[in-house]
Amino acid sequence: MTDLEPLAPEEGVERFIAYREPSVRKSTLQNAKTRLGHFLDWCEVAGLDNLNDLTGRKLNDFVAWRQGEVAPITLQKQISSVRMALDFWANLDAVEPGLREKIHAPELPDGAEARDIHIKGVTAQAVLEYLDRYQYASRMHAIMALIWRTGMRRGTVCSLDVDDLHEDEHAIEINHRPKTGTALKNGNKGERWIYLGPRWTQVISEYISENRNPITDDYGRRPLITTRFGRITGDTVYKIVNRATQPCEYGMPCPHDRDPVTCEARGPNSLPNKCPSSKSPHAVRRGHITHYLSEDVEPEIISERSDVSLEILYQHYDARTAREKMEVRKQHLPQ
């Protein structure tokens, strides 16, 4: 047995985050904070106030506690962060060496990481038509239009400034600005211009003039998508897309026989992702890529437009069925 030195969970997480901060992206650090925040919540529920007391059985209790709350793949990511923290805490003599090997995620069901988790083109069109009619140029409309039209990541949505919209050219410019708070996932390689077209340029332009909170950030930049507190965050984009893609949100009957009045996914203090039909920003991005592949747009064009390599595009984003792929190929073959 190692002679352990007491360490409170909160301090342990703070030390781990401080250790990781110089070597990872801001978004990676924020993800770690969020995931370990759930671990801290469990510590409070379990009455665990000293990391010395962690055991394999208690870690199993944590997994069981989270398992009913999140999707399997999300749970795996959270456990991965806890494992890294356990390694770090072992080096501080706060937990037993090798304890990280005693926390296990349940096996993912078949298809949990599959490419078929995406929004279908007909659904995206229904969402956008509803927003066009009833919430024109709203923040929700602007976000859904940007992600569906361009396939950009939610972090890219957060990085945009008002001046990035080029109305005369019906395009939007994507810039990597790590020194002023918004880095792109692929750094400078992710910089590009994306053609929006007149319709979507007008939606974004009218959002800016009619519904955008007139905010300038600490760097003197004017964020494109804002809340009353400042530049929109990735978490808020996630919640807005979850909300927008609920069938009852865009005028469809609930396919799950829920009462909107009591549904846990509805209301001001609800959890939009609790709707089984809601989709994430990543699912909308994947749907965009799949839709344009099905429309026989060159994969190289989609790759550049969405800032994803061809290898990753085919591995993680192409949600077409084998038959749908055949139909696209058939157009290029003699009859």
Q: Is residue 187 part of a domain?
A: yes
Last residue of a domain, one of 42, 74, 102: 102
Note whether 97 and 185 are same-domain residues.
Answer: no
Per-residue pLDDT averaged across 194-212, rounded? Answer: 97
Residues 6+ apart with CB under 8 A from 240: 139, 140, 143
Total domains in the fold of the chain: 2
The token pair at 126 is 């229904």
Q: Is residue 328 part of a domain?
A: no
Note whether 173 and 59 are same-domain residues.
Answer: no
pTM summary value:
0.66
Note whether 96 and 190 are same-domain residues.
Answer: no
pLDDT tens digits for range 51-84: 999 999 999 999 988 886 777 778 888 898 999 9
Residue 50's Cβ-count burial label (10 Å; 0-12, 13-18, 19+) is middle
Note whether 235 and 162 are same-domain residues.
Answer: yes
Note whether 237 and 158 are same-domain residues.
Answer: yes
Give me the pLDDT at residue 110, please: 40
| 198-212, 231-245, 304-318: segment of lowest average pLDDT | 304-318
Report how far residue 85's alpha carbon sits from residue 174's, in angstroms, rounded to the nearest whole number: 34
Last residue of a domain, one of 284, 304, 326: 284
Note whether 89 and 134 are same-domain residues.
Answer: no
Three-class secondary structure of residue 193 per DSSP:
strand
DSSP 62-81: HHHHHHTTS-HHHHHHHHHH
Last residue of a domain, one of 238, 266, 284: 284
Task: Tell me which residue range forms the domain holding 27.
Answer: 9-102
State the average pLDDT for the chain. Answer: 89
**Residue 165, strand partner residues:** 172
Q: Is residue 79 part of a domain?
A: yes
Note whether 137 and 220 are same-domain residues.
Answer: yes
Note whether 176 and 251 are same-domain residues.
Answer: yes
Give me the pLDDT at residue 131, please: 98
DSSP for residue 313: I
pLDDT tens digits for range 130-154: 999 999 999 999 999 999 999 999 9
